[in-house]
C-alpha cells in the first residue's frame, strides 16, 4: 500500500458570503501530492493548477497567501480532468494522508459539484497527520500548524508554505517521523459521505477509546431515540455499561454521558451531531475511559447545563 500525502489550495467568493455558491464555498485551485511507499520512502509527486469556474476573481486573502494570480490559474487544467488524473496517479492500493481534516472533505465537495463523487466512495479511511503528530510528540489533544510541526522536528524549510506541493512535502516529512505504531493504530475516518443504512455504520475500537459513526437520520430527535446511538459499551469488553449520568446536551451539537463497567471502571461518552450535504443528521460517538477527574468534568458540564436552564426558565417566568 502507498501513502498519498496531499494538500489543496482553494479560493472562496471574493464578494462576501452573501454572494457565495452554497454548493461550493471553497473552489480548489491547486492539488499537490507526495507518494510514499510502504517503507515510507518518497517515490513520486503530483502537482496541478486548476482553472477556476465558479469564482473568476481571487479573494484577496487567497492571493496574498498563495502568491498566484488569476491569469496564471486560467491556464490551469479543468477540475474534472485534474481530479481524474490525480486519482489515476494515486494507483490502486493507497491511503490518503492530510494535515488536518478539511482537505479530504473539500476534495469530495468539489467532486460532488462536478458529479464525480462516485469515483471516490466513502466514508474514507485516512491518516490525519496533524493528529498523529500530536499523538507522537505532544499531548494527543492539541492541534498545531504545519509550520509548527516542521519547526518542532527540525525539518529544513526548502520552499514557502501555502503552496500545495510544498505543504504536501512538509506533511510527508512529518509523517515519516511519526511513530509507526501510532500511525497504524490511530487512523481517521472522513464522513463527508456518511453511512446511509445500518449495515454501513462504522464501529472502531482504538487502544484507549472507541468511535461509532451512525447512519443518516432525518432529525436529531430521531437520532437520539436510536438504541445503538445512545448505547455506552465498554471499550475493553464490549458489554453495556451502567449509566451514571444519562445523555444530556450542552448545546445543539454535543451530548455527554457518564457510564461504569463493573470490571473496567468509568467511561465518558460524547456524541457530536453532524449535518451532511443531504440535510440529514448523523452521529459521531466516542467512548473513552476516564478517571475520577474526568468523571468530575462530565458532572460539572451537567451542573452548568442545569444552571443555565433554571436561569432561562426564571427569566421566561419574569417576562410573562
Checking DSSP bridges between strand 2-12 and strand 94-98, what pairing results, if any? parallel
Give pLDDT tens digits for 165-176: 999 999 999 999
Q: Is position 319 within any domain?
A: no
Statement to judge: residues 170 and 286 lie in one domain: no
Give pLDDT tens digits for 291-309: 999 999 999 999 999 998 8
pLDDT band at 319 (very low <50, low <70, confident <90, very high): low
Is residue 51 pLDDT above 90, yes or no? yes
Q: Could you tell me the strand order of the sheet in which 209-213 lies?
A: 202-205, 209-213, 281-289, 265-275, 254-261, 242-249
Is residue 311 pLDDT above 90, yes or no? no
Residue 156: the pLDDT is 95
Q: Which residue has the higher pLDDT, 314 or 92?
A: 92
Mean pLDDT of the chain: 94
Helix (H) or strand (E) holding 124: strand 124-128
Among 175, 180, 190, 187, residue whose Cα is nearest residue 5: 175
pLDDT band at 243 (very low <50, low <70, confident <90, very high): very high
Residue 251: the pLDDT is 87
Helix (H) or strand (E) holding 80: helix 79-90
- Yes or no: say if 51 and 77 are a contact pair by the CB < 8 Å rule: yes
Phi first, then psi, for residue 309 (nearest 5°) are -65, -40
Domain count along the chain: 2
Statement to judge: residues 176 and 210 lie in one domain: no
Spatial separation of the C-alpha atoms in residues 30 and 50, rounded to whole Å: 6
Q: 164, 188, 212 — which closes off a domain? A: 188
Rounded percentage of the chain residues whose pLDDT exceeds 70: 99
Statement to judge: residues 10 and 153 lie in one domain: yes
Statement to judge: residues 118 and 146 lie in one domain: yes
Q: Is position 317 within any domain?
A: no
Query: What pTM was estimated for this model as a whole?
Result: 0.87
Is residue 316 pLDDT above 80, yes or no? no
Amino acid at each position: 500500500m502507498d501513502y498519498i500525502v496531499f494538500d489543496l489550495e482553494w479560493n472562496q467568493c471574493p464578494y462576501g458570503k452573501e454572494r457565495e455558491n452554497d454548493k461550493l464555498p471553497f473552489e480548489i485551485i491547486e492539488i499537490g501530492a507526495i507518494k510514499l511507499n510502504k517503507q515510507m520512502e518518497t517515490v513520486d509527486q503530483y502537482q496541478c493548477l486548476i482553472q477556476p469556474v465558479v469564482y473568476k476573481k481571487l479573494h484577496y486573502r487567497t492571493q496574498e497567501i498563495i502568491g498566484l494570480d488569476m491569469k496564471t490559474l486560467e491556464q490551469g487544467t479543468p477540475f474534472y480532468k485534474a481530479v481524474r488524473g490525480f486519482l489515476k496517479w494515486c494507483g490502486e492500493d493507497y491511503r490518503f494522508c492530510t494535515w488536518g481534516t478539511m482537505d479530504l472533505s473539500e476534495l469530495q465537495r468539489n467532486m460532488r459539484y462536478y458529479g464525480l463523487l462516485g469515483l471516490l466512495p466513502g466514508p474514507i479511511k485516512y491518516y490525519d497527520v496533524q493528529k498523529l503528530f500530536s499523538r507522537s510528540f505532544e499531548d494527543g489533544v492539541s492541534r498545531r500548524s504545519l509550520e509548527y510541526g516542521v519547526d518542532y522536528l527540525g525539518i529544513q524549510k526548502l520552499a514557502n508554505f501555502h503552496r500545495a506541493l510544498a505543504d504536501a512535502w512538509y506533511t510527508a516529512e512529518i509523517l515519516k517521523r511519526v511513530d509507526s505504531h501510532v500511525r497504524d493504530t490511530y487512523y481517521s475516518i472522513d464522513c463527508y459521505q456518511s453511512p446511509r443504512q445500518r449495515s454501513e455504520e462504522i464501529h472502531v475500537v482504538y487502544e484507549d477509546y472507541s468511535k461509532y459513526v451512525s447512519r443518516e437520520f432525518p432529525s436529531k430527535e430521531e437520532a437520539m431515540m436510536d438504541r445503538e446511538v445512545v448505547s455506552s459499551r465498554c471499550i475493553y469488553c464490549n458489554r453495556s455499561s451502567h449509566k451514571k449520568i444519562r445523555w444530556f446536551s450542552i448545546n445543539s451539537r454535543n451530548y455527554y454521558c457518564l457510564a461504569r463497567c463493573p470490571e473496567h471502571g468509568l467511561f465518558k461518552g460524547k456524541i457530536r451531531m453532524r449535518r451532511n450535504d443531504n440535510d440529514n443528521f448523523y452521529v459521531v460517538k466516542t467512548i473513552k475511559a476516564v478517571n475520577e477527574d474526568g468523571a468530575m468534568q462530565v458532572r460539572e458540564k451537567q451542573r452548568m447545563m442545569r444552571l443555565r436552564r433554571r436561569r432561562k426558565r426564571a427569566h421566561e417566568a419574569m417576562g410573562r
